[in-house]
Structure 1
């Protein structure tokens, strides 16, 4: 009588690998069912894990949403930084590359990130997380365009206005209100105008 063949043991993922699996499953879930369907319980079902594992990784739904936004920001920043690094050291090319990279990064994630951003805005805790990343990006923008402005640099108000335009144009491109090229071109002009105004700002 032959012994039964033992079932292969399920490979245990490292915590980092499990987190990556759950984030990927979350993005897929949002794409298929929308952000409203994203709960830790539903994520556990989709990922084939128990609820306690999902709760152990993210704590709450807000924790999961914050992790998704961080995941998006890390990937966006890597793509964006690589594009800016490869641009020529001229205002014209920096503005063109900045506009193209920003819009492309948003389009890469598509409608999924729009749902996450909407959810972030609905909670003071998550809104603070979003603002933290926005402030870091504003500082990055100031550094990118400082060489082309006066010694005082570009005002914080101008940088926030540019970021608002970048988000609005990218959102419009995602939903098809305008084309990606139109969004990039308008953002490029917005950036050039911002820098040129800084050169003529009153002391």
Structure 2
């Protein structure tokens, strides 16, 4: 992730009580596609090396569980973020933490449910894989001005808690489970419109 979260808002355990982390999905249990990390003009992006249909599981977000968010962590539960381990080198990051290079789009082609990255539109080989940061992050540690160019561009990305009522409703089908109301069903297979950035062949190939 290019930008990540601060501590999420919501109901917290009483002082002195620490909730256990949810069970993590073993990496080997997840089907997926081959992806590549592309660096172009100083910007990294995650590229699909093969096509995927809407609803397909693309890969797993697997990292170090923590209650403290960082610039590159992804929030996967109310009190849990997944981050990159300290001291990890670029080669290992490209091989096992390539999810860190997913960029934001206000018209994404993927969403994150628990640890699963799921296509919400058909994704062609050579297309960038993006998700909307406000669909997983309660609060961004580093809010930013979005310039994705979408007609639905939110303009300022600061986390779901800072989104307008209209934007929250638009994002609802893509929301991670921990951002849904307690009585809401998990999102289903969504085939909404999305914009993808076409890119050349990936320079570094990684996969599950």
Fold shared by both chains (TM-score > 0.5): no
Quick check: which has more Rg, 1 or 2? 1
Q: TM-score of the superposition, structure 1-length normalised?
A: 0.28
Taking CA–CA contacts closer than 8 Å with sequence separation of 6 or more, which of the two structures ends up with the larger relative contact order?
Answer: 2
Q: TM-score of the superposition, structure 2-length normalised?
A: 0.28
